[in-house]
Structure formats: C-alpha cells, structure tokens
A and B are shown apart, each in its own frame.
Chain A
Amino acid sequence: MDKVYDVAIIGGGPAGLSAGLYASRGRLDTVIIEKGRWGGQAATTEELENYPGSIEHPTGPKLTERMREQAEAFGTEFISDEVVGFDLSDKIKVLKLKEREIKTKAIIIATGAQHVNLGAPGEDTFRGKGVSYCATCDADFFTELEVVVVGGGDAAVEEAIYLTKFAEKVTIVHRRNEFRAAKSIVEKALANDKIHVMWDSVVEEIYGDGIVEGVKLKNVKTGEITDYRTDGVFIFVGTRPVSEFVKGIVDMDPKGYIITDSEMKTSVEGIFAAGDVRNTPLRQVITAAADGAIAAISAEKYIDKTFGQ
C-alpha cells in the first residue's frame, strides 16, 4: 500500500507490454495492470505476419507471451485486476483496483480496443452457438463446416484465411465492393479456393434452432434479400476504444479515443496513452509497441522533471 511505483500501466497488450519493457529497462519501478487476458487482442490472432521479425510462427499468443517475458526480465510487475477509479488530487496518483490500491507517479493508459457488435437480430442469441468474434478460440468447432465472415478490413480477411484451415467453405460478406484490408492479404484470400465473397451485402439476421443454421443477407444495391445457409458467423466489423473508465478525466475524440500529442501525453499531466485506445491513424501490433515505447520515455521525462532525481 505504501509503495509508490514510478509508472503504472493499465492494459497488458502490446502497447502496455512495450511500455513496461522500456520503463523497467530504464530502471523505473513499473507495474502493469490487466483485467482480462494478457496480450490483448493480439493474443487472439494466429495470423500475425506483419510484425517485423515474426516471420516464423507468427502467432499472436506466442509473440505477446514473449513480450511479457521480456518486460518481466527487466523487472516489470504484473497484476491481474481491474482499475475502477482514480484519485488524482495529489502529484502521487492513486489507482483504485477492485482488490487494492496502487500509488504511482505516472500512468500509461494502454487499454486498447475491443470488437463492436454487428447489431443484427440473432447475434446475441447465438453467441457461443455459431456467432463468434474470435477465430482462434472457435475455429475448431467448424472443422469441415461452412462459415460466414462479416467485414472487409485486415481482421476480417486475415481471419477468413485462418478459418480455411478448418472450415470447408468460408464466405466473406462485405458491404462494399472492395476490401479495405492490405493488398497482399486480399490477394492471398481471393486466391484461396475455399474463400467466397458476397460483395455489397450485409447480414440482416442470424437464425437457427439452438445453433446457427443460416443468415439472411441483403444486397445493399438491389435491396434483394437472400437466405444463406451457414454453420457459423464470425464478426469483424471494427473496434471501439476501451476508455469508458477514464471518461471525464482525459480528453477524447467523439468516438472515445484518447487524444494525445506525439509524445503520448494526454490532457492530464502525468497521464499518457498508447496503442489502440488513442487517436492513432493505424491500429496494429507494431504501432501499439511503438506508442508504448514513446509513452514510457515520456513518463520517465515527466518523473524526472516533476519529482527530481
């Protein structure tokens, strides 16, 4: 209770783990608090071939596990708990967790983003019964079955490719007539015999009897509704920031992404933000890691300036 950390990092994904590595390597007393799974969203993706140096076995769980070990090797501490409140009235900030309180000189918010729902009827009903947001978690169930992937960004197309290792047929349903995903991924997907694409289409409804049996698709150009039999629906239609818990404390954009400058400073002195949770033009493992490094160095400068050495 009386211990004062130099840096408390909220979130144990690539941004938080990189911040932990840089901060603890800079001899700052560092703790990372994670409320769920370590490794963040990256820990749920198998296809991770765009992080430099991760060509062989580029899986999210392995990469993030190594990030954690590396931060730990330099002395970063880890706490599995959730931040539920703050006391920022003093220079020494207090983080209120469910189980305890943490005192710290600087805070780095690296809570990332999480998937958004499609909002189609049946989505909630069939959660865990064919509707999924995590291909690595659930792909096994669809061995030799047929699945639909909804979305058109990197996540949707990459996970569709991953799902072809299990499913007999993978249909990507996308509301536009071209993908937003990186060209190399798109080429790989379109060359895969198991992948089919329904362009200009949206999922109107997910139906079934106990488990998913099909979807109703609507062509956004013609308005035509078709019935499409499928055993699973994987939804990758975007993300939203996990920033609710700091609403009213740091400035955010209208979507809830935390506004920072190029040094990862937020509107509050001594509070920094890194990774997917901030207003960044790219949300990838590499940008999260870079943000984490910058945030750690900025926190160090802030501590030197504010608390002396």
Chain B
Amino acid sequence: MLELNKENFEQEVMQAEGPVIVDFWGTKCEPCKALMPEVERLAEQYKDKIKFCKLNTTENRRLAISQKVMGLPTFIVYKNGAKVKEISGADNCTPEAIENLIKENI
C-alpha cells in the first residue's frame, strides 16, 4: 500500500486516474491497527481495480483535517480529485463495509 504524506497526496490522490481509496489511520488508534491486516488483504485482492493508500494522521494531522477527517478509522474513496464516499468509526469500518465501499466504486 502506498504511504501518503503532504508531498505526494496531491499527485497520488487528487490527480490520480481511476478510483483511489485512502485508509486514514493513526499510531494510537487501536481499532485502525486491528483492521490493518484485513485492509492489506483487500489491497492485494483489488490491486488491479482500485489504488489503495494509507495516511498516518499522527504524522499528517493538517493534511487529514484539510480532508475534513477528524476521527479514526476513516476510509475515503476519491475519483477525479473529489471525495465520492466515506465511512468512519470503528463500528462502521468493518472489513465487509470496506469491501462494499470498494465494490461500489470500481
């Protein structure tokens, strides 16, 4: 999975061709870390259909807030530089919900 930061976010997400999904996580977010193996699995499974990225919000707080993300875990799908759909919160971000989010947007 591609690691995002303020240097590459514009190019890799906003300027990207095709759908992009971003996993907003943080080093103190236990639910995010618990989800990570499933997210890695989905990233591998759908690697030809959607671009999978993750953004460590602990290191990129301002960037996250600029995307109106102020809670974790959050998953956002972008298309043509715009947010298409997002889900947030540990009980909403189940592996099934993330997979559905991908399926709806590829």
Contact = CB atoms under 8 A, between A and B. Distances in A.
Do they bind each other?
yes
Interface of A: 36-39, 43-44, 46, 61, 80, 114, 127-134, 136-143, 210-212, 231-232
Contacts of B71: 127-132, 137-138, 141
B62 to A, nearest CB: 10
Nearest to B25: A137
Given A44-B31, A61-B30, A143-B61, A138 B88 contact: no
Interface in B29-62: 29-34, 37, 57-58, 61
A241 B73 CA distance: 22
A232 B32 contact: no
A114 B68 CA distance: 26
Nearest to B76: A128
B89 A141 contact: no
B45 to A, nearest CB: 15
A138 B72 contact: yes
Nearest to A138: B71
Interface of B: 26, 28-34, 37, 57-58, 61, 64-65, 68-74, 86, 88-92
B22 to A, nearest CB: 13
A128 B64 contact: no
Contacts of A129: 68-71, 88
A136 B70 contact: no
Given A36-B90, A127-B89, A134-B90, A210 B68 contact: yes
Given A128-B71, A138-B72, A37 B90 contact: yes
A146 to B, nearest CB: 13
26 contacts: A36-B90, A37-B30, A37-B33, A37-B34, A43-B30, A114-B91, A127-B92, A128-B69, A128-B71, A128-B72, A128-B86, A130-B70, A134-B31, A134-B90, A136-B29, A137-B32, A140-B26, A140-B57, A141-B69, A142-B70, A210-B68, A211-B65, A211-B68, A211-B70, A212-B70, A231-B70
Nearest to A45: B30
Contacts of A128: 69-72, 74, 86, 88-89
Given A43-B30, A141-B71, 10 more contacts: A36-B90, A61-B30, A114-B91, A127-B88, A132-B70, A136-B30, A137-B32, A137-B90, A141-B61, A141-B65
Given A37-B90, A140-B61, A141-B64, A232 B70 contact: yes
Contacts of B30: 37, 39, 43-44, 61, 136-137
B31 A138 contact: no
Given A37-B90, A39-B30, A137 B70 contact: no
Q: Which of B28, B33, B90 gathers the greatest number of chain A CB atoms within 10 Å? A: B28
Nearest to B58: A140
Contacts of B64: 141
